Amino acid sequence: MLRSLLTASSLLACQALAYDQTLGFNGPALVDTWPLDEIYQMALAEGCVVTIEDTDEDALKKEFEGRFPGMNLNLTTDLSNFHSVRLDEQLAAGHVHVDSIAFQTVHDFPRLDAKGALFHYAPVGFDQLYPSMRDVRAAFYGILTVGWAGKWNTDKLPGIEPPVEWEDWLRPELKDKLVLTYPNDDDAVLYAFDLIMQQYGKSWFDRLLAQNPRWVRGTRSPDTIMADANSTWAASLTSDGLFPTSNVNVSHPVQGSFVTWLQLAAIPKDAPHPEAAKLLHNYMLTPEWQSTRGSWPVRRRLSRHL
Ligand SMILES: *[C@@H]1O[C@H](CO)[C@@H](O)[C@H](O)[C@H]1NC(C)=O
Ligand SMILES: *[C@@H]1O[C@H](CO)[C@@H](O)[C@H](O)[C@H]1NC(C)=O
Ligand SMILES: *[C@@H]1O[C@H](CO)[C@@H](O)[C@H](O)[C@H]1NC(C)=O
């Protein structure tokens, strides 16, 4: 009861965007204008819990709970295709218990929205997102960018000319040094190789094989293997992280195409803790959170601080 009262009062306090660009199937977005700290008070009153299914690490939990004492972020991390099935099961059972979803299976979001399963809610800052990074009716939007980078361990390959274009990875100094994810292990890796071969032909891949790369499963494995001071493997082009760290430099081709994508997030329409979900989504779009992600911001006009 308390929750529905609070939800109703927040609906009154927020301004509704009263038009729909197509046929109005799923209704207009609720456009929030509240200061973060007022949403925080509402979320505390509601019960202090937000349950989220996410594919990211526990950093979000630490940051969110540190920024909003008393809140509990109940975060389940798993692979997106597992998460999306679980949400489908909750929808089928008529019992949604997650407050927020953040998946990498981009195709799930329009599908869920077409079922009427998503809350059309525009957090503060929504209008600052790049238009291609948000649904026009605020059913879902990007919170992070993810992408593959060319990477090399500068302790193991000191002073090399940075490999930038895809042809550069075929240079002799990278022979026996490359650690790569199997293209058939991850669809985004497969797409990266597909894009490269569309530009540079299948011969590019044959020459890559002649570099004698080590093939591994998972896109974190190349990082782990490159970082191991005792391994001779020193470079990769199939793992994420858009910016250099102390001994791993990073490049993106200028002529070549490369793969980046959005981590999308949404609030289920029947989320049991809508105020807490709003708080989380408003927080994730703040310039403060966006500019410290280690990825390119989804908001315009932000520089990145690490
Ligand atoms: C946390 O999330 C799990 C999985 O969604 C759920 O089973 C559990 O009840 C949640 N805990 C709280 C305190 O809401
Ligand atoms: C690297 O090898 C040395 C010598 O064999 C060993 O002492 C050290 O523990 C190894 N380091 C790692 C990270 O495996
Ligand atoms: C890191 O790589 C970039 C190319 O992405 C290059 O411009 C820069 O000089 C490199 N930095 C070092 C320390 O090698």
Are 192 and 139 found together in one domain? no
Residue 298 inside a domain? The answer is no
pLDDT 10s digits, 93-144 = 999 999 999 888 888 999 999 999 999 999 999 999 999 899 999 999 999 8
Indicate the number of domains in the chain. 2
pLDDT band at 5 (very low <50, low <70, confident <90, very high): very low
Cβ of residue 255 lying under 6 Å from some atom of ligand 1: no
Q: How far apart are CA 277 and CA 215, in angstroms?
A: 40
Residue 95 in tokens: 């019992």
Are 29 and 161 found together in one domain? no
In this structure, the number of other CB atoms found within 10 A of the CB of residue 208 comes to: 21
Residue 295 inside a domain? The answer is no
Helix/strand/coil for 157? coil
Average confidence (pLDDT) over 24-34: 75
Are 227 and 286 found together in one domain? no
CA proximity to 136, closest of 24, 39, 34, 55: 24
Q: Please tell me the pTM assigned to this model.
A: 0.75
Are 117 and 239 found together in one domain? no
What's residue 280's pLDDT?
Answer: 94
Cβ-based neighbours of 12, under 8 Å, separated by 6 or more = none
Query: Are 165 and 255 within 8 A, CB to CB?
Result: yes
Taking CA atoms only, the protein residue closest to ligand 2 atom 5 is 230
pLDDT 10s digits, 152-171 = 999 999 999 999 999 999 99
Helix/strand/coil for 286? coil
Are 124 and 201 found together in one domain? no
Residue 221 inside a domain? The answer is yes
Query: Are 33 and 140 within 8 A, CB to CB?
Result: no
With vertex at residue 220, the alpha carbon angle to CA 99 and CA 174, rounded to the nearest 5 degrees, is: 150
Taking CA atoms only, the protein residue closest to ligand 1 atom 1 is 74
Are 214 and 237 found together in one domain? yes
Cβ of residue 76 lying under 6 Å from some atom of ligand 1: yes
Are 276 and 238 found together in one domain? no
CATH code for the domain of 163: 3.40.190.10
What's residue 53's pLDDT?
Answer: 62
Q: How far apart are CA 150 and CA 247, in angstroms?
A: 14
- Kindly list the protein residues whose Cβ atom lies closer than 6 A to any atom of ligand 3: 154, 162, 164, 249, 251
Cβ of residue 51 lying under 6 Å from some atom of ligand 1: yes
Which structural domain, as residue segments, surrounds residue 108?
2-145+261-290
Residue 301 inside a domain? The answer is no
Taking CA atoms only, the protein residue closest to ligand 2 atom 12 is 230
Are 39 and 81 found together in one domain? yes
